[in-house]
A and B are shown apart, each in its own frame.
Chain A
Amino acid sequence: MTPRARALVLAALVAACAVLTAGAQDASFGRTTSVAAPRGIKFESALLEDVDGDGARDLVVLAARAGKRARRVVRIHLRRAGESAFAPEPELEFDLLPDVVGVAVADVHADPGAELVLLAPTGAFALRPRAADERERYVQLVATELLWQLPHERKTLTWQEGVRDLDGDGLADLVLPRPDGYTAALQRRAADGARSFVVSTPELPDDGADTPEGLGSAKARGRKRRGEIAVSLKLGDRAPAGDLLDVAESVPAPVLADWDGDGRTDLLAQTTADVLVWLLRGDGRYAGPPDVVLPLPLEVDRRRLLDVSYSAHAADLDGDRRADYLLLAGDQRSDDARVQVALYRRGPAGREGATPLFGDAGRPAQLLVIAGLAGAPELADVDGDGLPDLVVGSLRLDALDALRAATGSTLDAELYVYRNQKGAFSKQPDLTRVLHVPAKALSKSRSELTARFVGDATGDGVSELLVRDDPERVQLFMVRRAGASLAILDRPLFETRVADDADLLVTPAARGVPPELALVSDAEILHVRFGR
């Protein structure tokens, strides 16, 4: 599963923005490198990906030049040996064309290293910045309609989650969202090194769940996105005044996982009615209609969609190489705030029957109940046993707790880790961490509060915990195995002050490479690599 930011539940309440800066000071475990924006440049976002093919992550900065008619610019800082990970000045810098909507990094061309994949409304293109001939600078990879069709003057979307080796041939493939489904492009390499793509277009069925609302109905609408709930109310007559054109398109986020255990990565999506599965075939294509349609085991109505705890996840939880299903939902029948965690495991391979996963009765293999307003789940291998563990945040408050919080001006949230015991989670949390969120954080809408396990940074096989429960501070805590249990050390391995409006980019540990961070603010990127 792609790494996710773990916004605390309470971040949903944050209602305004502010800008503060703070100097950075680091402890010894993490080595920091600061990259400052030159005069006239404002940093917008960043990626940490291997661009030059040396196995180390480089820093790709997406920025905008100041001025009324801003131009977007990409600055690539290649990783270098030594104390500073990056030079102050980028090794590569180029302007983005006006119709570029988003970017990703992937090796999609015979040129050495990876390319910048430019996403435009009409398809994906590889940028070859070192091409001698200007006409060969842009190579079309796939023609497709992209969900995101309107470029921004300053911002550039990133879609690194759509880059995966889907068929296990060692080549990066692409999955791009379209307004009515997805475009999958599987890369092929010819004997001479030339690249081509096998393209297929899985299509979302018209399930009727998204019937457009009619005139005069649904005058009040609610929507939930990460970190916010918004309600809009329309009073009076029909057409919203003052708009020439209003376009809203959306698709379920594609989840890439092996459904049938054949080693190829299948494509999953969930509507308000069904889980849909498109199987990757031997020829590198997905079918248009989904191969598997599984009706959800619960009704997903507006109340459910606004439920802050509601989320569903696909991952192999029992090690059989086939995706299982995890569902979190608020218990709507309970007087107390509590969340049900339902684990649906796959049946024996080849003998799942006519209704795989959910079964005829929709009964889960395991049901956990977590008290409080729980959410922001993450499936991460905390204990290093190779199976994903369940990490959930929870807010439990009664009047006394609230009074205590008001007195201390901090809000206590809890982070639970339920270890995966061969396909079932522990009935009680194996690890609990109390997070003290200062009340001032509630007034910072731009700051991202997070607590997530980022992989092993110390070499003991156990994942470390990254915490930003104060917008102005980032800490890394060591998690230690003590016999059969886990413990989080009180003293952080690393701590640094950060600008409270800095966006946090986390690259978890992978294949022995420790986790890294990038804190992106308008004028500076603070890069942190862990390990001594």
Chain B
Amino acid sequence: MTPRRAVFALAAALALPCGAAATAAEPRAAVTARAELSFAPSAEVVADIDGDGRAEIVLVAEDGAVRVVRRAEDGSLGAPQGELVLPHPERTLLAVADIDGSGALHLVTLSPEGLRAYPAVPGAAFAARPLELAPRARFVLRVGAPRLARIVRDVDGDGRADVVLPLGAACELWTRAKGAESGEPLRYERVASVAVDVQRTESTNGGALTDVLEGGFRIPDLRTEDVNGDGRADLLVVDGKVRAFHLQRADGTLPAEPDVKVDLALFRDTTPDGELRLGHTLAGGDDARYESRDLDGDGIPDHVIAHRRKVWVFLGGRDGPQFTQPAAILKTADDVTALLLVRVDDDALPDLVLVRVQVPSAAGLLRGLVAEWDVDIATVGYRNVPDGVFATTPAWRGTLTVRLPAILGVLRDPDALLRRFEQVAARFRDSLETDLDGDGTADVLLVADGDAPHLDAWFGRGARGGDPDAERALGDALFGADGERTWTIDALLGWLGSMAERRASRLTGGRDADASVPLRGAEFVRRALLTGDLDGDGRSEVVVVSTRREDGNGVLDVVSAR
């Protein structure tokens, strides 16, 4: 063994999981630094907080301690720095953001103390004394430990950071108060309270030792989109069956009351109740369904509402959405289970696809207890004609049958079915893009899980964007003449697997990885993959944050290109 190989072998033996080579030559990427933490991180960010051109690793512990790790000149990771301890760790949302527009980053928190910003201290961490931006912006929900959230964002597109305060059934929007530019202390003020559609998971069933009490909720993010083509982001609100649109004004403000509001409950088809009946079409509940997309190519979203057998099409315009003048009303022969706005043909405009799911008959369902059973799905496609509405007669028809396994068999061992889906899901590898080699072009990294987890890198493969043909693939699956018309679970899994391969191929160009770096194994839980230029050399690093299963303490691995 040559001295060089001996050094490599020794390094590999000592430093596992530090970088193993993709080839026998020197690897193009490897783990170049690592650190063991004495606490369990609950939030982590990589950002240049002090503006020195080198990104720091910001770690927030479960107990609220905020620590900053820097890469030293010799490439190692320094000891965590900082004295700041957040006062209500179990009720704190945080972000690292330029809250005052100065270009400097702050640690921004929402907690029972209100909205605060902790300035970064050059060469150290964050100041212990915060800026009180809005004491009344109190966040009181329990999240367990400090949590990163998208609370700071430019909601109204005016170039300044806004703050979204989740309260439960509503979110408040806070923006920078006037006067901050004229030297007054930075303050935030509430400009709107927006109802949001909270999903709850609650269980109060007790009595058995195996019963579990649950209390959970999911608060959706505020959604913004330009709905009137003026280039400004408008606010879209979903509140039960109501859709509301707050149109941003020229001065960047958003009105507290929506400009356009539509109650989907008003759209009723008077054909008989769309209840679920065995042997009939699944009506998909009796609520109207709503989809939005630009149908006429004018860059402004249009709107489609369906209820039972009726479909209304409304075109949006410069005044925003409107729901009074339908461009078309379609009537179908049977209840609509779901509607899709996807590209089926070769033009750029989305077409209308109505899906009808046939509920098995009583006899079919009972037979399905012990044998395979079929669910028939009929699809009808209406072509988008040039004026932005749909042809009144279908251009495509398709039927497919989903063949499902025996119900009792699934009930006996649902985990077996779950494992099969899990295997397919694992093929959809987590991805990230960053300029690892500093050549000015984004590189693609894909995570592979399993017995030997690793991170693969493809240099120069970034910025591939979305899959332009994904919709067509769906259209082919629904209407394709030569497609498989009966889909078993195996066929479905195979199709999903092919989608995973297609996605990976699109991201990587179908070639072998340029580098492969082993990641920590089953004794660790990987929390986050973050990117940033830690040493200011123009090349980005990947910071892998994991926790040790044994004690929950964090570990850091830095992956760099060579």
Assuming A211-B549, A215-B529, A405-B366, is B216 touching A249 (CB within 8 A)?
yes
Contact B166 A244 (CB under 8 A): yes
CB A307 to nearest CB in B, in angstroms, measures 8
CB B195 to nearest CB in A, in angstroms, measures 9
Contact A248 B528 (CB under 8 A): no
Tally B residues with Cβ within 8 Å of A.
Answer: 92
Asked whether A225 is an interface residue with its Cβ less than 8 Å from the other chain, the reply is yes
Could you say which residues of chain A place their CB within 8 Å of the CB of B204?
102, 148, 157-159, 161
Contact B422 A219 (CB under 8 A): yes
Contact B278 A312 (CB under 8 A): no
Mark A439-450 against chain B: 1 for CB-CB distance below 8 A, else 0: 110111000000
Asked whether B359 is an interface residue with its Cβ less than 8 Å from the other chain, the reply is yes
Bound complex: CA A98 to CA B147 (Å): 26
Could you say which residues of chain A place their CB within 8 Å of the CB of B222?
244
Contact B275 A18 (CB under 8 A): yes
CB B72 to nearest CB in A, in angstroms, measures 27
Contact A442 B363 (CB under 8 A): no
Q: How large is the interface on A (under 10, 10 to 19, 20 to 34, 35 or more residues)?
A: 35 or more
Could you say which residues of chain A place their CB within 8 Å of the CB of B142?
121, 145, 149, 179, 247, 249
Contact B141 A406 (CB under 8 A): no
Could you say which residues of chain A place their CB within 8 Å of the CB of B182?
none
CB A158 to nearest CB in B, in angstroms, measures 7
Contact A248 B219 (CB under 8 A): no
Bound complex: CA A5 to CA B430 (Å): 43
Q: Which of B380-388, B409-417, B480-488 contacts A (4 or more CB under 8 A)?
A: B409-417
Ordered by A's residue number, 5 sampled pairs between the chains whose C-beta atoms are within 8 Å are: A18-B276, A248-B201, A269-B209, A332-B413, A373-B408
CB B110 to nearest CB in A, in angstroms, measures 10
CB A387 to nearest CB in B, in angstroms, measures 18
Mark A207-233 against chain B: 1 for CB-CB distance below 8 A, else 0: 010011111111110101110010101
Could you say which residues of chain A place their CB within 8 Å of the CB of B364?
406
Contact A213 B525 (CB under 8 A): yes
Name 14 extra pairs, CB < 8 A, besides A214-B526, A215-B447: A1-B207, A148-B202, A149-B215, A211-B549, A238-B430, A244-B166, A244-B221, A245-B149, A247-B144, A249-B214, A250-B203, A253-B208, A253-B212, A399-B370
Q: Which of B143-159 contact A (CB under 8 A)?
A: 143-144, 147, 149-151
Bound complex: CA A1 to CA B275 (Å): 38
Contact of B363 among A150, A398, A409 (CB under 8 A): A409
Contact A250 B215 (CB under 8 A): yes
Contact B362 A235 (CB under 8 A): no
Assuming A303-B413, A442-B278, is B213 touching A250 (CB within 8 A)?
yes
Bound complex: CA A111 to CA B211 (Å): 35
Could you say which residues of chain B place their CB within 8 Å of the CB of A152?
200
Assuming A222-B418, A242-B220, is B207 touching A16 (CB within 8 A)?
no
- Nearest neighbor of B551 in chain A, beta-carbon distance: A208
Contact B365 A153 (CB under 8 A): no
Asked whether A236 is an interface residue with its Cβ less than 8 Å from the other chain, the reply is yes
Bound complex: CA A402 to CA B453 (Å): 46
Contact B370 A398 (CB under 8 A): yes
Bound complex: CA A446 to CA B418 (Å): 26
Asked whether B369 is an interface residue with its Cβ less than 8 Å from the other chain, the reply is yes
Contact B367 A251 (CB under 8 A): no
Asked whether A285 is an interface residue with its Cβ less than 8 Å from the other chain, the reply is no
Bound complex: CA A312 to CA B523 (Å): 30
Contact A226 B205 (CB under 8 A): yes
Q: Which among B362, B363, B364, B453 has the greatest number of chain A C-beta atoms within 10 A?
A: B362
Contact of A157 among B144, B166, B202 (CB under 8 A): B202
Contact of B412 among A217, A373, A439 (CB under 8 A): A373
Assuming A236-B428, A397-B369, A402-B371, is B285 touching A242 (CB within 8 A)?
no
Mark A302-338 against chain B: 1 for CB-CB distance below 8 A, else 0: 1100101011111000000000000000101000010
CB A388 to nearest CB in B, in angstroms, measures 13
Could you say which residues of chain A place their CB within 8 Å of the CB of B412?
330, 337, 373
| 7 nearest A-B pairs in the assembled complex, by CB-CB distance | A439-B362, A214-B525, A253-B206, A219-B425, A253-B211, A220-B422, A248-B216
Contact A231 B213 (CB under 8 A): no
Contact A248 B214 (CB under 8 A): yes
Asked whether B61 is an interface residue with its Cβ less than 8 Å from the other chain, the reply is no
Asked whether B277 is an interface residue with its Cβ less than 8 Å from the other chain, the reply is yes
Contact A247 B411 (CB under 8 A): no
Mark A464-489 against chain B: 1 for CB-CB distance below 8 A, else 0: 00000000000000000000000000
Asked whether A243 is an interface residue with its Cβ less than 8 Å from the other chain, the reply is yes
Bound complex: CA A395 to CA B207 (Å): 23
CB B119 to nearest CB in A, in angstroms, measures 25
Assuming A220-B421, A405-B366, is B208 touching A311 (CB within 8 A)?
yes
CB A330 to nearest CB in B, in angstroms, measures 7
- Nearest neighbor of B212 in chain A, beta-carbon distance: A250
CB A203 to nearest CB in B, in angstroms, measures 15
Contact A148 B215 (CB under 8 A): yes
Asked whether B210 is an interface residue with its Cβ less than 8 Å from the other chain, the reply is yes
Could you say which residues of chain A place their CB within 8 Å of the CB of B144?
179, 247, 249
Bound complex: CA A222 to CA B223 (Å): 29
Bound complex: CA A150 to CA B499 (Å): 39
Q: Which of A1-39 contact B (CB under 8 A)?
A: 1-5, 9, 12-13, 16-20
Contact of A17 among B276, B428, B447, B453 (CB under 8 A): B276
Contact A270 B209 (CB under 8 A): yes
Asked whether A252 is an interface residue with its Cβ less than 8 Å from the other chain, the reply is yes
Bound complex: CA A31 to CA B523 (Å): 63
Contact of B169 among A147, A153, A311, A442 (CB under 8 A): A153
Bound complex: CA A81 to CA B503 (Å): 72
Asked whether A63 is an interface residue with its Cβ less than 8 Å from the other chain, the reply is no
Bound complex: CA A102 to CA B213 (Å): 13
- Nearest neighbor of B221 in chain A, beta-carbon distance: A244
Bound complex: CA A431 to CA B203 (Å): 32
Bound complex: CA A401 to CA B369 (Å): 10
